[in-house]
Structure 1
């Protein structure tokens, strides 16, 4: 597992964790994100950010990696206005939202992300080697009428 921090523009904070696509790595990744959000003063967003990150990581491991040898990368950064969490995997296949019925045991991950995030989406990797699925959360209160 590789952790790195680097500045992302004026006033931005950044964390990146790369790990083998094995569910055993998910708890330490969650701890790292939780600790970083706390250090950034974003405790109020921890629960929903970890829910979204967990769903995106699970999808990356399950659908975006062909083996445990492939790498998943979780990136998080924060500015004064927004917290952004992205999960990259080697598959170029775009994620699909689906509407699972009550009898299905899976298939609700992106619905959960959409429900807790202010916005979310996906984008191909700049080098064509996969994709990044992301969720964004406002760090400032919404104005009346927004």
Structure 2
């Protein structure tokens, strides 16, 4: 697949492998998946679920805050810009990276992309935030080819046990 350069210089990687195939056996145990109805109220539920799971895994507070923001932005985009019935999220730890994947059911002809918003615009900066907080992010088709998965890899630290 080709890489598409987006405005503001944010370039997602479309062909990055899923960490689940390459993660260590320890990281394979540190994963979570959930879905919620594609409603605005589900965004806060997704944030709470992510925070609870990452705290359970002993992830540092900065990474917890960043992950909540990324999930919020990706969930919001899936709710607002697709006609999905549900939005799914998967979290996986692999080494010093946290992979967040948010999947929608598609039904839209445009691909998520970062853009520069004007100072007077109320929205449009979400993927710029995702790009700023993550080591890498991108978009790929979901497993059945109808929807899409937007993913982000975030650095994290584990708190001492």
> How high is the TM-score relative to the length of structure 2?
0.75
Structure 1 residues 10-36: Cα deviation after superposition (integer angstroms, max 9, x where no partner): 111111111110111222221111011
Q: How many residue pairs were aligned?
A: 131
Query: In structure 2, how many angstroms separate the alpha carbons of the residues matched to 1:53 and 1:86?
Result: 8
Relative contact order higher in (CA < 8 Å, ≥ 6 apart): 2
* 2:101 paired with 1:52: no
1:82 aligns with 2:93: no
Q: Which runs of 5+ in 1 are unaligned?
A: 1-7, 141-146
- Structure number with the higher strand fraction is 1
Q: Deviations over 1:32-91 (max 9, x none)?
A: 110110111112301111111100000000012x26xx1100111112221011100011
1:105 — aligned with what?
Answer: 122
Deviation of 1:9 (Å) = 5.3
Q: Is 1:41 the counterpart of 2:73 in the alignment?
A: no
Q: Distance in 2 between matches of 1:9 and 1:72?
A: 27
CA RMSD for the aligned pairs?
Answer: 1.8
1:71–1:9 CA distance, 2 compared to 1 (3 A):
farther
Gaps of 5+ in 2: 1-22
Rounded Cα–Cα distance in structure 2 between residues aligned with 1:20 and 1:46: 23
d(CA) in 1 for partners of 2:24, 2:132: 29
TM-score by length of 1: 0.82
Give the ranges of 4+ consecutive aligned residues of structure 1 lying more than 3 Å apart after TM superposition: none
Measure the CA separation in 1 of the matches of 2:57 and 2:95.
10
Match of 1:122 among 96, 117, 139: 139
